[in-house]
A and B are shown apart, each in its own frame.
Chain A
Amino acid sequence: MKKLLFTVDKVSTFVGRASGWSIVALTLLICWEVFSRYVLHNPHAWVQDAQVMLYGVLFMMAGAYTLAHGGHVRGDILYGFFEPRTQAAIDLVLYIVFFLPGIFALTYAGWNYAGDSFAIRENTFSPEPLPLYPFKYVIPVAGFFLLLQGLVEIIRCLICLRDGAWPSRVEDVEEVDVDKLKKMVEVRDEDIARLDEYVIRQEGRQ
């Protein structure tokens, strides 16, 4: 079971990370276009469409990746204080009530939407048109991966309900990785611990 969960996690992570590289392409594309437009006075009409596509792919395909690592913003005013079992019960219910219908509808509708676009080989509305239908297929594909990841999260909720503790996840980079930041500015735990004397001294004075 654990293997299955990890496999799906890894697939989501791989897809999300791969699409994440489009930020580099996006940066370079726009910088090149800025140079071309303002210095060489040679703007390109297709760049506008291409940058929208790169951005769309970037965030849509990273949705499952973010879910796999608990990165979607939660209102955690109460959630953080709950027992793991309570958390899992709430999550389980809401995955079934909100997540599954929502994402399933999105995937299904997205499939038809992209299919319509594919049927007419839709292009962007521009003098230098790009094919638009592959971009529209991003919706059902991203939805599919989210759905898959959502099912895995539901299994996690069930495991947590049974065991009373959240099952582990695949490791990933974190926005605020305290250990890494400590290393970056060369502060050690002992230094922090030693500071306590100043705190205690100050409190003693008061």
Chain B
Amino acid sequence: MRKELRFGFALMAAILIAVAVLTPWGNLTNGHLGLIMLALIVVAIMLGFPTAFTLMGMGVLFTWLAYRSVNPELAVEQTLDLMVQRAYGVMSNDVLIAIPLFVFMGYLVERANLIKSLFHSIHLAMARVPGSLAVATLITCAVFATATGIIGAVVTLMGLLAFPAMLRAGYDIRLSAGTITAGGCLGILIPPSVLLIVYGATAGVSVVQLYAGAFFPGLLLAALYVGYVIIVAKLKPELAPPLSQEERSIPLAAWMKGISDTISERALPGLLGALRGRRNEAVPTRRILGQLVIALLPALVWFGAMGLTYRSVTAPVEVADTHGLQEMGVGSEAPAAGAEEPIADGVQEPLADGVAEPPADGVQEPPPEGAPPAVAAEAPPAAAATEAAPAPSPSPAAGTEAARPAPRWFWVTLGVGTALLFAFYAVFTFVRLEVLLGSFFPLALLILAVLGSIVFGLATPTEAAAVGALGGFLLAAAYRQLNFGVLKESVFLTAKTSAMVCWLFVGSSIFSAAFALLGGQEIVEKWVLSLNMTPTQFMLLSQFIIFILGWPLEWTEIIVIFMPIFIPLLAHFNIDPLFFGLMVALNLQTAFLSPPVAMAAFYLKGVSPPHVSLNQIFAGMMPFMAIQVLAMALLYLWPSIGLWLPQLLYK
């Protein structure tokens, strides 16, 4: 028998024996049944049956047992009721709508076939950095994985593009494999990511705040990767040899070269100088103007976006009304209350909240968008349903309110952004203009537009996702990759992926209802509290458990099955579920890189030359796993890395 099989069976046997020994068979309470169920589900999932149906089947069985212990006659009926209500709860969950939309956007962006020029251009822009190919790989992965969120495709594509390039340039096999696999997985952390939506829906945390919170940890992780690669390339050049001079140079169009040589190497002064007619270089003015517009695009977009934001944060309540409908998670519902209500539950709740607050309250007033989550999440769904005033237009009082002064965070953001913009133009040479505009800007723009509109409260995640999907559609069209076949495939793949994630939700929602009915949660809580742990110990323990679970299970399973157990415990230890979510998201990165089920490794192996072994790929991933643990430690020691932005925006 193979080593892996023996190990797996040993693990299963250990769990089963532990259950058999620890269970007080003499006086079996419902709570014990709940714990048995939890142990059995791990074993059942490891057997490899589709998890959604494993959860559903086991949930039904144990729900029936729970109801039977109270009233055997009604048990079947109650079980059926609970089941269908749970299923309907997932069907009418308005947080999860964003998932198919983001997935759809990802497939469309992937088909736009930008990755080749993206990699090429970033590589050229980075040519002077040590380990430039690896750095470019990481950045390409980060951008592309963020925009598409499809790890398998990103790793495969980079395995086809970057891996050969790195091998040819004499890079170490392990280092190359590590950068590709680690970079490809960044997409699940950096928003807009599906993982954060799933966590938000399970834990009842605002997806908007999760997005704002995960932004900097995601960048931090990417920066640590890049830093590691640069240090390795500096210390051990034989692992990542620098490029030769001719590999670095980029052919410029003749007229550009002219301007670049005579006026200025930098794009903006060069174009402006040429425009003023100083040594005009015989270039048609129209072309210079055109390039100028493209070069100014980042600045235009930035100031345009900030202008819009300014309008919306200073405007009276107008745009604030749809926000809170994202906040009603499955997790916040009482077991049986969820499904009887009309779909519109909680929709208008936050509006009332936003309007009640006089918007012209002074400089520190946060935008009304930030306020609802706590209120909406805590309000019992039933109450929300009865209160849900049917879509009133913003109250006249609010409508006539004078414009508010912009809050401080707006000016901070504006200042920082503008400074960055200046720095950007200072190093923006013709070379970079040529290579970056073709592929990097459109993607970065799409991501930032989607993310920005969510984080700044201009749109709900669902709306931003829909607009993003349309953006992906236009992107594919703009790069002439769009045809009916591509659209069809994207639609079908979206249907399959959404069904996979959302049926898992149906299953886990029934399962966790059974767990709650049996009172398993109370036993777990009592047990954890009896350990007298400090918050730090609890955090370490929970993250360690998640880390271990990441070995046999996928992130979807970990979140939908185990988060409902951890989340209620957080209150005892004064841990912010938002912060916990960020830690979990970082932690689950490791699940993708830990052998033997590391998905990324197998995708890379599928397209690498035959002599590259899986063990080499695994060995390459290890340093990056260590970096992930380091990033977790950094985030834990300085929580403001993650919490600064959400607090600035929403508190």
Contact = CB atoms under 8 A, between A and B. Distances in A.
Interface residues of B, number: 113
Given A26-B466, A41-B318, A71 B499 contact: yes
Nearest to A130: B343
Interface string A170-191: 0011011010011011110001
Contacts of A128: 391
Interface in B231-272: none
B152 A51 contact: no
Contacts of A34: 459, 463, 466-467
A80 B9 CA distance: 14
A195 B44 CA distance: 42
A91 interface: yes
A181 B553 CA distance: 27
A7 interface: no
Contacts of A5: none
B522 interface: no
Nearest to A113: B84
Contacts of A105: 60, 79-80, 83
Contact of A200 (B156, B500, B611): B611
B391 A126 contact: yes
B612 interface: yes
B347 A192 contact: no
B493 to A, nearest CB: 6
Listed residue (B50, B393, B552) with the most chain A CB atoms within 10 angstroms of its CB: B50
B425 interface: no
A67 interface: yes
Contact of A192 (B45, B164, B345, B597): B164
Contacts of A94: 44, 47, 49, 53-54, 57
Contacts of B47: 75, 78-79, 90, 94
Interface string B590-614: 0000001100000100111111100
B97 A109 contact: no
Given A77-B8, A185-B157, A48 B344 contact: yes
A97 B57 contact: yes
Interface string A99-111: 1011101101110
Given A98-B56, A138-B91, A66 B466 contact: no
Interface in A1-44: 16-17, 19-21, 23-24, 26-31, 33-34, 37-38, 41, 43
B342 A126 contact: yes
A203 B46 contact: no
Contacts of B94: 48, 51-52
Interface in B384-417: 385, 388, 390-391, 393
A10 B467 CA distance: 33
Q: Chain A interface secondary structure, helix, strand, loop or mixed?
A: helix
B136 interface: no
Interface string B514-553: 0000000000000000000000000000000000000111
A103 B150 contact: no
B51 A75 contact: yes
B466 A63 contact: no
A109 B164 contact: no
A66 B344 contact: no
B218 to A, nearest CB: 23
A185 B115 contact: yes
Interface in A82-122: 82, 87, 90-91, 94-95, 97-99, 101-103, 105-106, 108-110, 112-113
A95 B597 CA distance: 24
A109 B83 contact: yes
A132 interface: yes
A59 B157 contact: no
A108 B161 CA distance: 51
B80 A178 contact: no
Nearest to B154: A176
Contact of B91 (A16, A65, A139, A202): A139
A149 B1 CA distance: 33
A139 B506 CA distance: 11
Nearest to B57: A98
Contacts of A198: 167-168, 170, 609
Contacts of B61: 101
A176 B152 contact: yes
Given A102-B56, A195-B168, A198-B168, A185 B161 contact: yes
A45 B391 contact: yes
B608 A175 contact: no
A107 B153 CA distance: 36
B343 A192 contact: no
B182 interface: no
A75 B45 contact: yes
Interface string B297-309: 0000000000000
A109 B344 contact: no
A72 B50 contact: yes
B577 interface: no
A127 B343 CA distance: 13
A185 B499 contact: no
Nearest to B105: A27
A181 B144 CA distance: 15
A19 B494 CA distance: 11
Listed residue (A49, A56, A98) with the most chain B CB atoms within 10 angstroms of its CB: A98
A55 interface: yes
Contacts of B553: 75
Contacts of A81: 2, 4-5
A91 B616 CA distance: 33
B596 A77 contact: yes
Contacts of A113: 84-85, 88
A58 B501 CA distance: 12
A62 interface: yes
A73 B559 CA distance: 14
B621 interface: no
A126 B342 CA distance: 9
A109 B116 contact: no
A149 to B, nearest CB: 11
Given A90-B48, A126-B344, A126-B390, A187 B164 contact: yes
A62 B52 CA distance: 14
Given A41-B318, A72-B52, A136-B88, 13 more contacts: A27-B104, A33-B463, A43-B393, A48-B325, A55-B100, A63-B503, A74-B48, A106-B83, A124-B344, A125-B342, A172-B492, A175-B496, A198-B167
5 contacts: A17-B492, A43-B322, A48-B391, A65-B495, A135-B91
Interface of B: 2, 4-5, 8-9, 44-54, 56-61, 79-81, 83-85, 87-88, 91-92, 94, 96-97, 100-101, 104, 113, 115-116, 150, 152-153, 156-157, 160-161, 163-164, 167-168, 170, 172-173, 318-319, 321-322, 325, 341-345, 347, 385, 388, 390-391, 393, 459, 462-463, 466-467, 469-470, 473, 487, 489, 491-504, 507, 510, 551-554, 556-557, 596-597, 603, 606-612
